[in-house]
Amino acid sequence: MCPCEVVSPSPSPDTTAFEPGKPSRTKYAAPRNSAPGLYVHVPFCTGKCAYCDFYSLPERTRIPAWIEAVQAEARLFRGLFPRFDTLYLGGGTPSLLGVQELERLLQGLFRKLAFSHSPEITLEANPDDLSPGRLAAYRDMGIRRISLGIQALEDATLNFLGRRHTAPRAEQALIDSLNAGFSSVSVDLIYGIPGQTFKAWKKTLQRVLCFRPHHISCYQLTLSPETPLGKEHRKGRIRLPAEDTLADLFLATSEILRDQGYLHYEVSNFALPGHTSKHNRKYWRRAPYLGLGPAAHSFLAPVRWWNPSSLDTYIRQISSGRSPNEGREVLSREQALLETLCLGFRTSEGVAGRVLAACTDGSQTVQDLEQQGLVARHGNRVVPTCRGMMIADRLPLWFLP
Amino acid sequence: MTPSNIRNFSIIAHIDHGKSTLADRLIQRAGLVSDRDFRDQILDTMDIERERGITIKSQTVTLPYQSRDGEEVRLNLIDTPGHVDFSYEVSRALASCDGVLVLVDAAQGVEAQTLANVYLAMDHDLEIIPVINKIDLPSADVERVREQIESELGLDAAEAVLCSAKEGIGIDEVLEAVVKRIPPPTGRPDLPLSALIFDAHYDPFRGVIICCRVFDGTMRKGDTIRLLSNRSRYRIEEVGFFRLGRDPQEALSAGDVGYLIAGIKNIVDARIGDTVTLDDHPVEKPLPGFREVKPMVFSSIYPMASDDYEDLKDALDKYTLNDAALVFQKDASAALGQGFRCGFLGLLHLEIVQARLEREFGLSLLMTAPSVRYRFHLKSGETIIVDNPQDYPDPTLIEGAEEPFVRASILVPERHLGTVLPLCMDRRGVQPRTAFPTPERVELTVDMPLVEVIYDFYDRLKTVSQGYASVDYEMLDYRPSDLVRLDILVNGERVDALSVIVHQDRAREWALQVCERLKKEIPRHQFKIPIQGAIGGKIIARSTISAFRKDVTAKCYGGDITRKRKLLEKQKKGKKRMKMVGSVMIPQSAFVAALRSEED
């Protein structure tokens, strides 16, 4: 299949199916009807990876206080959201929590907030922290999805990224996770790394594919200025691959994974049918979500708010009985539209044709982009092609005045 | 008060020699403003004047003063603009004076502009009082400056007044010198009215406020006046003096400087240099020196966002209420939409208009490359005048072309002649001649195409002479020239707003420069974009923008959509300032860069 063709492997144009078996009219359910997701930010890491700009602390001793605060924050939102059908424990390193700590956290959340019958519960895990016993414990407490921060399968690259684990350890963790009986196992990979050859990346991908995880996230390395790698880059000590190389890498990655039956359902995300991340899709569909913990973001249309990136501040505000939000914004209609476009074009769901048609010169623009092979029409949706996905940040601008 | 108790004077100086500060001190000394309300450069009311330290619109003020002899005197300080673009306005202001203070910086000494200004004052037969300013500076060298005043200006340095306007030293001495040495006006109140318009402002409530100097006769509220140049008649509603505000008086008489309000709705009807007289008892001859102000430089103004066209139209209508020198008419461009073709006095005038329209009316503007008026002789025998590249005639019909030349007079210290002369030659200067008015200074006279002078020549000159050179120019004539229209094509489409009429020999250089600049400023698109410079069908310069393939962030950070959206909002704002040419989005910055003067 030409990499520039439409990403979805679905045979018929009106079923860009992500979850086969469900009637297609529910697939693009308006966000406001969809159930909310719950995110919990676990702000602990034993060390900082060289590329990471997420908020985290090294002190395990603060975990109990954090758990308390998250419980208290959850209590504040009791009744404000309908039943959550996903719970995502992200970080940080959620696998740094002891099994009992994790159990206490989940129990607390289940008591304070309402959940649907069988929620998708995801835990981000570091390969180093996992053992068959621990994985079984996770499974038993209701965790259904494991997202493994493997990142690379070459020790040199892992070292460059500042990861603690080794390649054999990562593979072992992947095997153990797949054997532990989760409904989905996801692997996080990073590519487009300084010094990484095309061949080395393909080899990594092939190796991961040997295990056929249900879900693979392939992120091109993004350097935030404040991270160690970002600083190295600014000083000119490391160099990212050229844009053309990154583009070729992107297309090759998509092609390889699609050939293996994965859906390229978001810029950096691939899944076997039925294994897309229900939780992450809420972000892209503008479904409501509540984020607990420091630095967590929440959305309940038309409001977005977020917590302070400091555990101390977060705990202080919680203990004074207030919602700890540090920032808040009420989206205007234009802002909501901009979000719909920029998030929609990141995914193979694209954007509803009527939304685009309502934009100035919208229909003409769709036609132009279609001619350039950047978007395609799927039923009443306009979806990006693989090449279009690669310029997803540009597409919305063509529809805005 | 009789004319013998009036003094009309102006301050002339090289830039930065302290003209505005001295004016401020004189105003303070006269008690027109309390120290508490005082702010620097009180006469320069526009922000842009304060920022650039230049005077654009002259302001006049009448100061009450009691001399040391106990005499009550009325001092009229007439402020003058300080740039070659406004030399006509300067000449009319000086024509309204009887004397001038020549301000010389005690550390810098006599500068080119000092000299030029002194010549101008001499042309008007004015009493000239040298004033040495900034004597408090450690680097002040009063004796050396005295010598320069004698040798370079030919003035009696023994009579020079010493002061420091900044420190308030010697202010009384300056005022005494004005009273003692500048002759009082000589006119007669009983003769027919003859008053010179040397400036005019527009007031939204009162209409045009004319600044004038009465030479003979008297004008009162209720009189019917006649403006000699267009014989229009108005009834005087108010006359008075300027004292930072308007101060109404019974009458303005021979020797007075003040304002008159007569229900004049349009500033173009109050022409600078025109003579005001009484309708029922008119003076026969107009005052000398009146000239129609003609625009020399032309450029089209477009709003960055095409829906701002109506706002731009409003802004221009309002702006021209106060600036009779700006003329404009509708223009349109395929690339930029609807706009206006405007005529300016010079490049500084153009920049000022642009800055004021943007600042005072909140507009974001795009201006095309400045042009002059060219003449094309057609094979049909017809001669057409073209100031807009869009009107460049069909080349097969052109018999010959001409462009306006000026004679530029550049005053420059001899040591900088080596850089100034090549600059003039590079700008197609011909017949350079040098004269040595003083041992250290060269007066370089060179005939140059006007277009070369108006286009950043002044700035370049300042750069190559480290600020020492000054230039003035006068129109000479039209001379034959090999003129072509250079077009810029982006992705094969002509960007009409970037077309220019240039001399054949300059076309390639210009084209290369524009192609390179556009290449830097136009963002990459999803396809390759060739940029070409062409004369007729012939490509003479070219650059290419390669296609982009990837523009997407890998990760939408854990639900932090806000950060992502804000980035896009910023880009979207940037896009607002872009223009579509064919399928290429050209940002404002590209137009600005392409049209910018040579090396910044």
* Structural domain boundaries in chain A: 26-284, 332-401
Structure tokens at B486: 């250079």
Chain B hits for A297, CB-CB cut-off 8 Å, are 558-562
Cα gap A78→A81, rounded to integer Å: 7
Other Cβ atoms less than 10 A from the Cβ of A319: the count is: 13
- Give tens-digit pLDDT for A302-353: 999 999 999 999 999 999 888 888 999 999 999 999 999 999 999 999 999 9
Q: Which of B129, B130, B132, B154 lies closest to B143, judged by CA?
A: B132
B525 half-sphere exposure, CB direction, 13 A CA radius: 21
Total count of residues recorded for chain B: 600
Order of all β-strands in the sheet with A351-352: A351-352, A381-384, A375-378
A338, A368, A392 ranked by CB distance to B569: nearest: A338
Kindly indicate whether the ipTM for this predicted assembly is greater than 0.95, answering yes or no: no
Nearest partner of B133 among B108, B97, B159, B115, judged by Cα: B108
**Neighbouring residues of B23: CB distance < 8 A, sequence distance ≥ 6:** B11, B42, B43, B61, B77, B79
Closest CA to B187 of B31, B47, B8, B26: B8
Alpha helices in A264-397 (DSSP H): 278-285, 311-319, 333-344, 353-357, 362-371, 386-389
User: Which helix (H) or strand (E) element contains residue B495?
Assistant: none
What is the predicted pLDDT for the residue at B383?
Answer: 95
Residue A87's pLDDT is 97
- Cα B354 from Cα B340, distance rounded (Å): 12
* Chain B residue at shortest CA distance from A337: B565
By CA distance, what is A288's nearest residue in B?
A: B559
By CB atoms closer than 10 A (0-12, 13-18, 19+), residue B125 is exposed
Which of A126-130, A368-372, B170-174, B321-325 has the lowest average pLDDT?
B321-325
In 3-state terms, what secondary structure has residue B2? coil
Q: Which of A299, A339, A391 sits opposite B559 (nearest CB)?
A: A299
Q: Which of A6-15, A355-364, B15-24, B407-416 has the highest mean pLDDT?
A: A355-364
Report the distance separating Cα B73 and Cα A273, nearest Å: 97
Q: May I ask the CATH class of domain A332-401? A: mainly alpha
Does CATH place domain B297-367 in 3.30.70.870?
Answer: yes
Query: Residue A216 corresponds to which amino acid?
Result: I
C-beta separation of B174 from B22 below 8 A: yes
Does CATH place domain B3-181 in 3.40.50.300? yes
- Residue B178 has which token pair? 């004005």
Is the predicted pLDDT of residue A247 greater than 80, yes or no? Answer: yes
pLDDT value for B38: 57
Specify whether the CB–CB gap between A264 and A272 falls below 8 A. Answer: no
Give contacts of A 124-183 with B, CB under 8 A.
Answer: none
Q: Choose from A44-48, A281-285, B567-571 the range with maximum mean pLDDT.
A: A281-285
Average pLDDT over residues A28-37: 62
Phi, psi of B368 (to 5 degrees): -80, 170
Domain locations in chain B as residue ranges: 3-181, 194-278, 297-367, 375-481, 484-595
Q: How far apart are CA B568 and CA A155, in angstroms?
A: 37
Q: Which alpha helices (H) appear in B8-141, and where do they start and end?
A: 19-29, 47-52, 87-95, 112-123
Please report residues of B whose CB lies closer than 8 A to that of A368.
583
Q: What is the CA radius of gyration of chain A?
A: 21
**Strand boundaries in B254-397, DSSP class E:** 257-261, 275-278, 297-303, 327-333, 337-344, 365-367, 374-378, 383-386
Alpha-carbon distance A82 to A34, whole Å?
A: 10
Q: Kindly report the backbone phi and psi dihedral angles of residue B163, in degrees, each rounded to the nearest multiple of 5, phi listed first.
A: -155, 165
A399 close to B (CB below 8 A): no
Cis before A11? omega within 30: no
Contact B380, B458 (CB under 8 A): no
Interface check A387 vs B, CB under 8 A: yes
Q: Which of A96, A1, A107 is nearest to A41 (CA)?
A: A96
**Cα–Cα distances in angstroms (integers) from residue B589 to residues A395, B172, B365, B367, B509, in the given order:** 22, 52, 11, 12, 21
Distance CA B197, CA B176 (A): 28
How many A×B Cβ pairs under 8 Å?
A: 98
pLDDT in tens, chain B (600 residues): 678 899 999 998 877 788 888 988 888 888 766 555 555 555 555 554 445 444 444 478 899 999 888 889 999 999 876 555 677 888 888 999 999 999 999 998 887 678 778 888 888 889 999 999 999 999 999 999 999 999 888 899 988 999 999 899 999 999 999 999 999 999 899 999 999 999 888 888 888 999 999 999 999 999 999 999 889 999 999 999 988 778 999 999 999 999 999 999 888 888 889 999 999 999 989 998 887 778 889 999 998 877 889 999 999 988 887 787 888 999 988 878 899 999 998 877 888 888 889 888 888 888 888 899 999 999 999 999 999 999 999 999 999 999 999 998 888 888 899 999 999 999 999 999 998 866 777 889 999 999 998 877 888 888 898 877 878 777 889 999 999 999 999 999 999 989 999 999 999 999 999 999 999 989 888 788 999 999 998 999 999 998 888 888 888 666 889 988 888 888 887 776 677 788 888 887 788 788 766 544
Given a contact cutoff of 8 angstroms between Cβ atoms, the answer to whether B576 and B517 are in contact is no
Answer whether residue A93 shows pLDDT above 70. yes
Closest residue of B to A374, CA-based? B526
Which CATH number is A26-284 given?
3.80.30.20
Interface of B with A in 502-531 (CB under 8 A): 526-527
Query: How do B6-13 and A375-378 pair as beta strands?
Result: unpaired
Q: Where are the beta strands (DSSP E) in A251-326?
A: 263-266, 269-271, 289-292, 297-300, 303-306
- Residue A62 forms contact with B (CB below 8 Å): no
CA-nearest of A370, A267, A363, A322 to B553 is A267
Domains B3-181 and B297-367 share a fold: no
DSSP-derived letter for residue A43 is -
Helices (H), B109-247: 112-123, 142-151, 171-181
Which among B525, B545, B550 is the top mutation candidate for probing chain A, defined by the most A β-carbons within 10 Å of its own β-carbon?
Answer: B550
Q: How confident is the model at residue A17 (pLDDT cuts 50, 70, 90)?
A: very low
Q: Would you identify the CATH topology of the domain B194-278?
A: Elongation Factor Tu (Ef-tu); domain 3 (2.40.30)
Rounded-to-integer distance, Cα A396 and Cα B7, Å: 69
**SS3 (DSSP) at A377:** strand
The DSSP H or E segment spanning A167 is: helix A167-179
Cβ atoms A200, A167 nearer than 8 A = no
Any chain B CB within 8 A of the CB of A28? no
- In CATH, what number does B375-481 get? 3.30.70.240
Using the Cβ of B576 and the Cβ atoms of chain A, whether some distance falls under 8 Å is answered with: yes
Residues B309 and B339 sit within 8 Å (Cβ to Cβ): yes
Q: Which residues of A touch B551 (CB under 8 A)?
A: 390-394
Helices B457-464 and B417-426 cross at an angle (nearest 10°) of 150
Query: What is the C-alpha to C-alpha distance for residues A300 and A331, in angstroms, rounded to an integer?
Result: 10
**CA A256/CA B450 separation, integer angstroms:** 65
DSSP B46: S
pLDDT confidence of residue A260: 97
Q: Helix crossing, B19-29 with B171-181: angle to 10°?
A: 90
Residues B484-595, CATH architecture = 2-Layer Sandwich (3.30)
CB contact, 8 Å: A368 with chain B? yes
CB-based contacts of B440, cutoff 8 Å, min separation 6: B413, B414
